Structure 1
Amino acid sequence: MIIFNYETDFKLVNEDKIRNWISLCIADYGFKEGEINYIFCDDEYLLKLNKEFLQHDTLTDIISFDYTVGKEIGGDIFISVERVEENAKMYSQNTDNELNRVIIHGILHYFGFKDKTLNDANNMRDQEAICLQKLI
């Protein structure tokens, strides 16, 4: 079950479409959908989590807490809408496209994809692109 929560004024325009897309990606990678909570928030909210749980004093667009067991995907994915908007401007991207990339990025981490090394980050971007093509 995919649940969208909001800690800011932001709200997804088409929750059902996004939910169905995420479910499709999960199934296509051979996983089963468990409980996945998306929490859309602001920079301040996410920075607090980053400091408290990861000991990082930096802004970020996403933090995902993975509760996956075996092939059942589950977790909490926190997304800073402010950071997504800033990143979209910085990389000359459409804000909706950048948001969708970040939404699926958290799920890809649950599949085991990493992004700490250049090689891993490139692979992550490739996987994001594959998933984004499925969003119709």
Structure 2
Amino acid sequence: MIDFLAEKVNLPHFIKEEIKDWIKSVIASYDYELGDLSYLFCDDDYIIEINRQYLQHDYYTDIITFDYCTGKVISGDLVISLDTVRSNSEMFNTSYETELKRVVIHGVLHLLGFKDSTVEEKDQMRAEENKALSLLSTFH
């Protein structure tokens, strides 16, 4: 099951059933199965409080992923700051919608085991994001 929730922001208009189908397809493409995913879209004030409270980090971020996976079942809570996604889309000169979709799947890729701490891991993560984004066009 995939849930989309919003805290202090409106749910983005393009977060619909085809996004759920896309996420399920990406998970299946790695031979994993969907458990429970919950996306919470919020603002910067909310995500920094989550970052401080749960991770003891005192900075803004676009996504925080809480991993509840067991074996080959992908489950987690994903908290996404729409403010940071918007500023990142401007910084990277991409559309807000594309950047948000990238962040949505970025969290799933973390749950699938991909990391982004080193340059090599970041390059691999970006390649996996691009691969997943290319699948999205089949769901429209």
TM score, norm. by length of structure 1: 0.98
Partner deviation per Cα, 1:16-50 (whole Å, 9 max, x = no partner): 01111001001111100000000000001000011
1:24-103 pair list within 5 angstroms: 24-103=25-104
Amino acid of the structure 1 residue aligned with 2:77: D
Partner deviation per Cα, 1:64-118 (whole Å, 9 max, x = no partner): 0000000000000000000000000011010000000000000000110000111
Amino acid of the structure 1 residue aligned with 2:93: S
Structure-1 separation of matches of 2:62 and 2:103: 8
- 1:13 is aligned to 2:13: yes
Structure 1 runs of 4+ aligned residues shifted over 2 Å read none
Structure-1 separation of matches of 2:67 and 2:110: 8
TM score, norm. by length of structure 2: 0.95
Unaligned residue ranges in structure 1 (runs of 5+): none
Structure-1 separation of matches of 2:2 and 2:59: 28
Instruction: Answer whether contact 2:9 2:41 (CA < 8 A) is retained.
Output: no
Aligned residue-pair number: 136
Amino acid of the structure 2 residue aligned with 1:11: L
Instruction: Answer whether contact 1:10 1:81 (CA < 8 A) is retained.
Output: no
- SS, match of residue 8 in structure 2: coil
Query: Paired residue for 2:115?
Result: 114
